């Protein structure tokens, strides 16, 4: 059964949701490298949803679902904000952006996960990591 | 003499402020903000600040932490100071490589190498 967690736009609540999911990831047998990748990507997705999506509005919720097996970890994070267009986000590694303080969360998610898919006008992100050693 | 907070231990080695992270995660926004305030105060103390950040204990960081480090680097550059990063674990160094920040920051493998690299 997938894990479904709805939290307010609050980093403490985000941290608790993150811990529940990571406990499942470890229990499913993902190695430390993959667990690091999932932890980092989930952190970035939750921060994006709370900070950029819901803009810290505590009346708006973040909906998290996770389906974790020995072979695959699939996590969705959805906010109640205005969404965004992925291709309009500037490349943080470009020379003109390299010393700017923000914009690296999406790059990290897309680098560390096997699949990152934005839907609902950018309000929902699906993160997938395959466990090549699993099952 | 060492100055400590819950998050950082600061010591002076010659004219270099050496900062060790005392928490293994640089993730929480509140912690990142507190770390930034302490580092900014260290930069403001000197005309040409020299800062060495030792990541030996750090196992996790986030893009918000990278943003804070970039801000610190920019502030130091404005004062013609110098920033060095050292003892970054391979897993964390990969984050710097992915974001290409290994080209922006001067990263040295050991603390003696980092200390010797200040001009």
Strand order in the sheet with B82-86: B3-4, B8-13, B16-21, B50-54, B82-86, B107-108
Residue with tokens 């100055």: B3
User: What is the structure's pLDDT at B99?
Assistant: 97
How far is residue B68 from each of residues A7, A14, A18, B36, measured CA to CA in Å? 26, 21, 22, 6
Contact A78, A123 (CB under 8 A): yes
Query: Backbone dihedral region of B98: left (phi > 0), alpha (psi from -120 to 50 degrees) or beta?
Result: alpha
ipTM for the complex?
0.93
Q: Using a CB-CB distance cutoff of 8 angstroms, which residues of chain A are in contact with residue B95? A: 40, 108
Question: Residue A116: what pLDDT?
Answer: 98
pLDDT at position B3? 67
Element (H, E) at A29: none
- CA-CA-CA-CA torsion sign (B86, B88, B92, B97): positive
pLDDT tier at B28, thresholds 50, 70, 90: confident
Q: What is the pLDDT of residues A69-80, one digit of tens each?
A: 999 999 999 999
pLDDT digit string, tens, across residues B49-82 = 999 999 999 999 999 999 999 999 999 999 999 9
| Shortest Cα distance, chain A CAs vs residue B16, angstroms | 23
> What is the CA angle A25-A35-B55, rounded to 5?
145
Half-sphere exposure of B109 (CA within 13 A, CB side): 1
The pLDDT value given to residue A134: 76
Distance CA A11, CA A50 (A): 7
Chain B environment of A47 (Cβ under 8 Å): 29, 62-64
Quote the CA–CA distance of A112 and A128 in Å, as a whole number. 10
CA distance, residue B112 to nearest chain A CA (Å): 27
Confidence of residue B2 (pLDDT cuts 50, 70, 90): low
Q: Is B67 on the interface with A (CB under 8 A)?
A: yes
Residues in chain A closer than 8 A to B91 (CB atoms): 33, 36
**Residues of chain A numbered 32-91 and touching chain B (CB < 8 Å):** 33, 36, 39-40, 43-44, 47
How distant is the Cα of A124 from the closest Cα of chain B, in angstroms? 19
- Rounded (to 5) percent helix, strand, coil in chain A: 40, 25, 35
Spatial neighbors of B116 by CB under 8 A, at least 6 apart, are none
Confidence at residue B13, expressed as pLDDT on a 0 to 100 scale:
93
Q: Indicate if the pLDDT at residue B12 is higher than 60.
A: yes
Instruction: For residue A40, name the pLDDT band (cuts at 50, 70, 90).
Output: very high
Please, are residues A42 and A125 in contact by the beta-carbon 8 Å criterion? no
Q: How many CA atoms lie within 13 A of A85 on its CB side?
A: 2
B99/A108 CB distance under 8 A: yes
Provide, rounded to the nearest whole percent, the portion of chain A with pLDDT above 90: 91
Q: Report how far apart, in Å, the C-alpha atoms of A44 and of each of A59, B81, B108 are.
A: 21, 31, 27
Full-model pTM: 0.94
Using a CB–CB cutoff of 8 Å, tell me whether B58 touches chain A: no
């Amino acid at each position: 059964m997938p894990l479904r967690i709805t939290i307010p736009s609050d980093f403490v609540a985000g941290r608790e949701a993150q811990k529940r999911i990571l406990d499942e990831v470890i229990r499913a047998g993902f190695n430390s490298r993959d667990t690091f990748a999932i932890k980092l990507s989930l952190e970035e997705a939750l921060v994006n949803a709370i900070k950029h999506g819901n803009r810290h509005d505590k009346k708006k919720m973040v909906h998290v679902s996770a389906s974790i097996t020995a072979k695959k970890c699939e996590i969705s994070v959805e906010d109640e904000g205005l969404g965004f267009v992925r291709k309009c986000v500037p490349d943080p590694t470009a020379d003109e952006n390299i010393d700017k303080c923000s914009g690296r969360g999406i790059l990290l998610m897309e680098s560390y996960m096997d699949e990152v898919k934005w839907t609902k006008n950018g309000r929902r992100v699906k993160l997938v990591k395959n466990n090549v050693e699993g099952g | 003499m060492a100055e400590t907070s819950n998050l950082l231990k600061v010591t002076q080695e010659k004219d270099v402020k050496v900062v060790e992270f005392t928490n293994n995660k640089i993730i929480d926004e509140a912690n990142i903000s507190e770390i930034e305030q302490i580092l900014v105060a260290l930069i403001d103390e000197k005309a040409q600040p020299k800062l060495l950040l030792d990541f030996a204990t750090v196992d996790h960081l986030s893009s918000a932490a990278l943003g804070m480090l970039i801000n610190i680097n920019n502030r130091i550059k404005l004062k013609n100071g110098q920033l060095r990063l050292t003892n970054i674990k391979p897993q964390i160094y990969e984050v710097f490589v992915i974001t290409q920040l290994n080209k922006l920051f001067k990263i040295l493998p050991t603390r003696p190498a980092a200390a010797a690299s200040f001009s």
